[in-house]
Amino acid sequence: MQLLILGGDGFCGWPTALHLSAHGHDVTIVDSCVRRRIDDELGVRSLTPIRLLPERLDAWKSVTGRSIDFVEMDLAEDYSALTDLLATKRPDAVVHFAEQRAAPYSMKSSAHKRYTIQNNVAVTHNLLAGVVESGLDCHIVHLGTMGVYGYESVPMDLPEGYLTVAYPDRTGRNHSREILYPTQPGSVYHLSKSLDQLLFQFYANNDGVRITDLHQGIVWGTQTDETELDLRLVNRFDYDGDYGTVLNRFLVEAAIGHRLTVHGTGGQTRAFINIRDTVRCIRLAVESGAEVSGRVRVMNQVTETHRVIDLAHLVADLVGAEVELVPNPRKEADENELRVRNDRLVGLGLEPIYLATGLLTESVEIAQKYADRIERDRIVSTSYWNRSRRAAAEEHVYG
Ligand code: NAD
Ligand code: USQ
């Protein structure tokens, strides 16, 4: 298949581009490399020493003999370049990763809130409008998030995208229908993904655009079969207070003897997936595109759920670290239950990797290997959801 990977220089996009190329697809990465500039803005860098994208692509060619094209483009700004590219490449599918994806970054200031909404909504809408204008029958595979469902405890397993609701009509006769699951975003970033859902629903209804929205959980791990073929292919690994996700942060904290920063009580339950499963799920979604028509296909891209405090103790026991309960910088429920259906991806052939595997140790080893690259003062999260969260955090003395 001819594939465009939007955001293919990022944490999920890079290993996915390699995985799809390794499986015989013709891959073009489209990226503005804005994520590398955000590292500069935040005064931090990937734990792993990632090469510039052209060097990564040369390494892939020299190791496998396969070429991946790269087009540098700001997808939020350069609509005509995007439509030219669609007309030239005529992709069978576009995988869309190209958004600002950190919840804490999206809450840092009004400038960060505005950037996140403007960038994310513009990229998604430009892509949809561009696909319609090009007249291509091209399948869009979007990386959405579990966070669109919100984290209210509900007495059921979360369905995949749609909820069946029943309601009486004026005469009292009962009807039922499926609606998009009511969205309850917990940050401006998650809000941008909720807006994406409406854009997808509209373009699927109005223009018959074929869309798969993958509601992905928190990704952990860093390497995949393809990125570990050569040091120059290594994937990025974020650990800082803005971009680092919880399990990867705990692994880094443990590796350098920092206390594990559990927000609040740690009673938050979240959904997780290993990066090796991420790339397989996306291949399954792309290669099953022929089954998508009509309404948006939503698949929950998760393999398991865990409470944050349990993860902290798991890592602490594995590596020998201390756990610290710190004031939660986020406005979120202290405790929640979460169970999620993932039947669609399992039905397509996903065989989940669980936390119990040796891959946790792999991440610890990577963290230890690159420990001298870690900026300790960038670990604690200093993005607060509101003034009272900031005030509570500023009173806390970190151990
Ligand atoms: P990332 O920040 O590492 O990668 C995103 C890439 O998109 C970057 O290379 C960036 O330069 C590019 N990009 C952003 N805006 C762009 C624009 N306007 N034009 C061109 N390129 C642009 O993020 P990631 O962790 O790889 O996440 C990828 C996608 O997966 C995101 O949409 C995110 O919401 C989703 N997701 C990630 C996780 C996770 O745990 N990392 C979990 C669930 C969903
Ligand atoms: N947390 C801690 N300590 C930390 C970091 C986080 O206790 O040091 C807590 C947070 O308060 C939160 C939970 O861990 O309750 C998860 O935080 P996270 O930063 O790992 O995940 P989140 O902000 O939700 O975002 C990440 C990705 C995002 C993706 C989302 C999937 O950055 O792109 O959409 O995971 S999900 O959470 O399923 O919506």
The more confidently predicted of residues 44 and 360 is 44
**Mean pLDDT, residues 9-34 taken together:** 98
| Nearest alpha carbon, ligand 2 atom 35 | 218
Q: Tell me: domain 2-398, CATH 3.40.50.720, correct?
A: yes
Asked if pLDDT for residue 232 goes beyond 90, the answer is: yes
- Is the beta carbon of 143 within 6 A of some atom in ligand 1? yes
Pocket probe mutation, ligand 2, options 96, 218, 256, 323, max atoms within 8 Å of Cβ: 218
Active-site residue, from 193, 227, 245, 261: 193
- In 3D space, the residue among 251, 269, 252 whose CA is nearest the CA of residue 314 turns out to be 251
193 is catalytic: yes
Task: Please tell me the least confidently modeled range out of 71-85, 154-168, 359-373.
Answer: 359-373
Strand partners, 178: 164
CB 139 within 8 A of CB 292: yes
**Mean pLDDT, residues 341-346 taken together:** 97
- In 3D space, the residue among 306, 302, 305 whose CA is nearest the CA of residue 346 turns out to be 302
Distance (Å, whole) CA 99 – CA 142: 10
Share of the chain above pLDDT 90, in %: 94
Distance (Å, whole) CA 325 – CA 328: 9
pLDDT at residue 398, rounded to an integer: 74
**C-beta atoms surrounding 135 within 10 Å:** 9
Report how far ligand 1's centroid is from the alpha carbon of 101 (Å).
5
Share of the chain above pLDDT 70, in %: 100
pLDDT at residue 349, rounded to an integer: 97
Range list of β-strands (E), 106-259: 139-145, 162-168, 174-180, 211-216, 218-220
- In 3D space, the residue among 279, 299, 391 whose CA is nearest the CA of residue 17 turns out to be 279
Report how far ligand 2's centroid is from the alpha carbon of 246 (Å).
6
Helix (H, G, I), strand (E, B) or coil at 142: strand
Ligand sitting nearest the alpha carbon of 124: 1
Give 235-270 pLDDT, tens digit per residue. Answer: 999 999 999 999 999 999 999 999 999 999 999 999
113 is catalytic: no
- Is the beta carbon of 102 within 6 A of some atom in ligand 2? yes
**Mean pLDDT, residues 65-82 taken together:** 98
Model confidence band, residue 356 (pLDDT cutoffs 50, 70, 90): confident
The DSSP string of 296-332 is PEEEEE-SEEEEHHHHHHHHIIIII--EEEE--SS--
| Nearest alpha carbon, ligand 1 atom 34 | 101
pLDDT at residue 397, rounded to an integer: 79
- Is the beta carbon of 270 within 6 A of some atom in ligand 2? yes
Total residues belonging to the chain = 399
350 CB contacts (<8 Å, ≥6 apart)?
277, 280, 281, 284, 303, 342
Give 84-106 pLDDT, tens digit per residue. Answer: 999 999 999 999 999 999 999 99
Pocket probe mutation, ligand 1, options 4, 5, 11, 141, max atoms within 8 Å of Cβ: 11
pLDDT at residue 159, rounded to an integer: 97
Model confidence band, residue 5 (pLDDT cutoffs 50, 70, 90): very high
CB 7 within 8 A of CB 97: yes
Range list of β-strands (E), the chain: 2-6, 26-31, 69-72, 93-96, 139-145, 162-168, 174-180, 211-216, 218-220, 260-263, 269-274, 297-301, 304-307, 323-326
pLDDT at residue 394, rounded to an integer: 86
Model confidence band, residue 328 (pLDDT cutoffs 50, 70, 90): very high
331 is catalytic: no
**Mean pLDDT, residues 158-174 taken together:** 97
| Nearest alpha carbon, ligand 1 atom 9 | 10
pLDDT at residue 373, rounded to an integer: 95
